[in-house]
Amino acid sequence: MLLDGHGGGRKNKNWSKAHKFYIASNINLADWGMYMKGYIIYQSGEAEKNKSFIEKLKAEGDNQGINFEYVPEEEHLECAEPDIVINRTRDYRVSRHYENKGIAVFNPAYLVHIGNNKYEAAMYLSEHLTYEVKSNKWAANTWFVSKSELSSLLDNEYLKRLVSNLAGDSCNDVVIKSVDGHGGREVFLLDNGASNTEKLKEILENLKGKDCVIQERIESNSSDIRVYIVGGEIYAAVLRNGSNDFRSNYSLGGSASEYKLIESQKSYVRKFVEALGGSRIGMAGIDFIVTKDGNLVFNEIEEMAGSRMLYECTGYNIAADYVKWISRFV
């Protein structure tokens, strides 16, 4: 079931008068020697890979009067209640737990959910985007295949019909992805569609036990644009180019460079930001495929967007700017 889009910015009912004064006057708590308690929640393995980002969040927290502490996902329920939470677990239930207690949490549960399920994200956007956007090619044609139905793709006639419906007569190539994969992993190109039986068997073996989507292949030069969103506003964009691979992911060896969106692109991207909740978005990435004629086609939401690529391409400190934005709510 698709979760309704609520939560993310409610304030703790137990905040002191000092905190309320801070909100009203926009005075930095750190300047008054007062600190709020914040949690940065990660899965243990992910925390190890994101040490630098965690330290940047904590450093800016000190500047803003928020004493951030890293808490492993498996331990957060045993800890005292914080004033604010940054949920970096990809598990919407973590955000929901704190929302139910009236504690400010970023990102909110609905965004964590759709931002970590490619099919739910596509369905959510199809419901919330304006008619103006949807009247043109805004995303790849997509079909959901549950883990129990994956073997049905081996039915040659069924697959032929599916490929034809997705890609039409112009292209027989389709892309098969797990709904919850990240970093370009569990994304496979099935060229020549129903004719490539051996490749399909190999793909299905890799995706065993996974819900998947199968999509038409959007013709591009193996490039896409990640647009970073902070506080519901466009923060920066990075152009990624694949290296001998149809996938453009930086983590798979692709190259990246800062990309300056032109005004028409900014306007287009803002329509997606608004559809996804506007200012309820704390920090996230929205990925667009760049077609051969230069148009942007939505690819996916990266709710737990990595920042290494952005730091290496630009001088922006997205972790610090994210915490500065969060501090407006506490």
What domains lie within the chain, and their CATH numbers?
17-115 (3.40.50.20), 142-216 (3.30.1490), 219-324 (3.30.470.20)
How is 249-261 classified by DSSP, letter by letter? -GGGT-EEEE---
Distance CA 224, CA 294 (A): 10
Q: How confident is the model at residue 241, as a pLDDT?
A: 82
pLDDT at 148 over 80: yes
Distance CA 326, CA 281 (A): 11
AA letter at 77 = L
Range name among 129-133, 219-223, 282-286 with the lowest pLDDT average: 219-223
Average pLDDT over residues 56-77: 96
Per-residue pLDDT tens over the stretch 174-185: 899 999 988 778
pLDDT-derived band at 145, boundaries 50, 70, 90: very high
Q: 106, 108, 119: which is closest to 146 by C-alpha?
A: 119
Report yes or no: 259 and 239 within 8 Å, Cβ to Cβ: yes
Cis status, amide bond into 165, omega within 30 of 0: no
Can you give the pTM of this predicted structure? 0.85
pLDDT-derived band at 35, boundaries 50, 70, 90: confident
Q: What is the CA radius of gyration of the chain?
A: 21
Q: How confident is the model at residue 2, as a pLDDT?
A: 33
Average pLDDT over residues 188-201: 79
pLDDT at 27 over 60: no
Mapped onto helix, strand or coil, the DSSP state of residue 246 is: coil
